[in-house]
Structure 1
Amino acid sequence: VEATITSKGQVTLPKALREALNLSTGDKLCFVLSGENEVRMIPKHLPVQKLKGILPAPDLPVSLEEMKLAVQKGASGL
């Protein structure tokens, strides 16, 4: 599906896309940068469960102990 950006920076979402996402006039959308030259559009009326996985996973796993230390450091203002 394609759309064109107007001189005012506006984009009209094609009808098929609006219907597929159950979007109506006045609905709010969130835009998330999800990669280089890639944007994800998320209707704000989606349940939070549908948002799972929209952000990339961190590069390196963090242990529970490292998380606790980071929280303590943040709470102490260091």
Structure 2
Amino acid sequence: MSSKDGQSPSSPAVTAPPTVAPVTDVPPGARVHHFDELSERTQHALASASPAGRLDIDTTTSRLSRGDIVVFTDYVRVQ
């Protein structure tokens, strides 16, 4: 396994598009981004996320990573 979280690079969790899910609390140490500080493209992706929470963003070019919290109308976690 080559990833630092113990998942192989071909794992579905790594290759699946990121999603967002609402959260009610922010875990200690979580990276928190405010919606208005994100790029316009990332803001649009968050605002138009599918009902299942799927995001149309490229995590390699976005400031967002899995596990990050975004302060939007509510708090959402990128998964």
TM range (shorter): under 0.3
What is the TM-score when the length of structure 2 is the normalising length?
0.24
Q: Per chain length, whose mean CA-contact separation is higher, i.e. which structure has more relative contact order (CA < 8 Å, sep 6+)?
A: 2
**TM-score in terms of structure 1 length:** 0.24
Structure with the larger helix share? 1
